[in-house]
Chain A
């Protein structure tokens, strides 16, 4: 795994250096004073770094008229913006007093937690949607997008931990402390993942049960029953995830003491 080191004391956030945008490629620069091109440049900057546009996967293509219309109606709801602003203010205040890496670690952990929360919500909705329907496809696509983002956030968190290990490479006690922290965070997410999976399986069992007396839904019931046969036990599911974490923990410790 590559180690990307940004010494805390030389990071622009600490030294007060001006505009890192000036050091980037011209097409990624935020051109001061040119409002019209700023949005475009920000989008370009996001896409330049590997498809991480904040709107990625949020295309409205394929959306039906009712959805577009609902989107327009919701766009006029002032209260939504007010609530979002309140939440942003809370986060900004909560991060005061943390150093650069702590702040990034907190944000990535929160992001991962929230992506799981979104995925859980979508999975619960998906179970009750009719396969093949427009709603089913919409939810499925949103879930796929969320799972893709979850993969990326794990990479982002790994990078932050890489920096922490690199910064403390000669301090065994600190390496152990960081590895334990990383393991705790991973375990926390595994527990949550197990809970979500449990809930998902219960919903599917429930749905399959309800379809038993409805011959018109035989195909769906058979599909669900087939899926149920392929499930690992919850213990095995958890064990496999924990084994990955343990392996990583040992590798981190080995790396620190090598």
Chain B
């Protein structure tokens, strides 16, 4: 479930009914995740990218452990992309 709330969107001037909100929140989450992943990929060099590819069939814990060990700015990346996307959303609030 998305951390974005209907009340928060309304406070930015975006009024949506339940159905539209669910789709919007889903779209927001997908966009955010895609952006975070893009940033992570930008952080990794070719060797790390190849290592990550090898982890395709590994379990979630192993993968997460690798991400934490190799993406040193992970926390900053997530915070950056959350603020950037919320800012994009606020800027476009009047048009949604």
Question: At the interface with chain B, which of A71-79, A164-172, A179-187, A192-200?
Answer: A71-79
Query: Are the CB atoms of B86 and A54 closer together than 8 Å?
Result: no
Interface 1/0 per residue, A15-56 and B, CB below 8 Å: 001111100100010101101001100100110110010110
Q: How many A-B residue pairs have CB under 8 A?
A: 215
Query: Are the CB atoms of A149 and B94 closer together than 8 Å?
Result: no
Query: Are the CB atoms of A13 and B10 closer together than 8 Å?
Result: yes
Shortest Cβ distance from A5 into chain B, in angstroms?
Answer: 13
Query: Are the CB atoms of A42 and B33 closer together than 8 Å?
Result: no
- In the complex, what distance in Å separates the CA atom of A32 from the CA atom of B44? 41
- Say what secondary structure dominates the interface of chain B: helix
From residue 73 to 91 of chain B, which have CB atoms closer than 8 A to chain A? 73-91
Question: Given that A19-B17, A110-B83 are contacting pairs, would A80 and B33 also be in contact in the complex, using a CB cutoff of 8 Å?
Answer: yes
Cβ of A135 < 8 Å from any Cβ of B? yes
Query: Are the CB atoms of B20 and A92 closer together than 8 Å?
Result: no
Cβ of A66 < 8 Å from any Cβ of B? yes
Set of chain A residues within 8 Å of B45, measured between Cβ atoms: 135
Set of chain B residues within 8 Å of A122, measured between Cβ atoms: 42
Query: Are the CB atoms of B8 and A92 closer together than 8 Å?
Result: yes
Set of chain A residues within 8 Å of B93, measured between Cβ atoms: 104
